[in-house]
Amino acid sequence: MEAVTPPTPPAPGPAGTPASPVPASRIPLVRLTALVFVGGAVGTSARALLEQAFAPEAPAWPWVTFAINLAGSFVLGVLLHVLARAGQDTGWRRDVRVGCGTGILGGFTTYSTFVLEVDRLLRDGQAAVGLLYAVVSVVAGIALAVLGVRAATQVRRPRRVGPGDRDDRDDRDDRGDRVGRVTA
């Protein structure tokens, strides 16, 4: 029979403080999960309030869900492009992507309600409206995500200028075209 060795207690933290009960490798997962949870609660609450305030008469085109999903697609395109331009998906950028993108926008937009609404339209004898709603929602959602990315490319990223560095943006007009600089 093999002897069972009891688990080794965690090593004490800095200056003799007790170690965290959560292993260091799992702390980022816990933080990211919390960001998704809080963001999802915010996004879902906003969507629920809008759907309650502007509830459509059935059977009709589900305008509220349609607008929510399209707005979310556009904002997600902007967000992801801005974050990608800012650097690698680490640190604060990952936190923003997960908290805002997955959490808030994931809770705000809703594929499940979209599918239920398509099903309701089909069952209520509105097959043409249901199919049109499904196709237009997906195509327009992709188009608006692309437009969001394009809109984000038009936003100029602020440049950090240190002492002794020359800021080339001074040589550009409002449209970004180079203009001559008069020097004495």
Q: Binding site for Na(+): which residues?
A: 106, 109
Distances from the Cα of 105 to the Cαs of 67, 101, 111, 148, in angstroms?
A: 13, 5, 12, 14
Cα(105)–Cα(179) distance, integer angstroms: 41
**Annotated binding site, which residues?**
106, 109
Distances from the Cα of 56 to the Cαs of 76, 137, 140, in angstroms?
A: 26, 17, 21
Pair 140, 72: CB distance under 8 Å: no
C-alpha Rg value of the chain to the nearest Å: 25
Alpha helices in 25-126 (DSSP H): 27-53, 63-86, 91-96, 106-108, 111-123
Cα(38)–Cα(40) distance, integer angstroms: 5
Cα(78)–Cα(150) distance, integer angstroms: 8
CB burial of residue 15 (10 Å; 0-12, 13-18, 19+): exposed
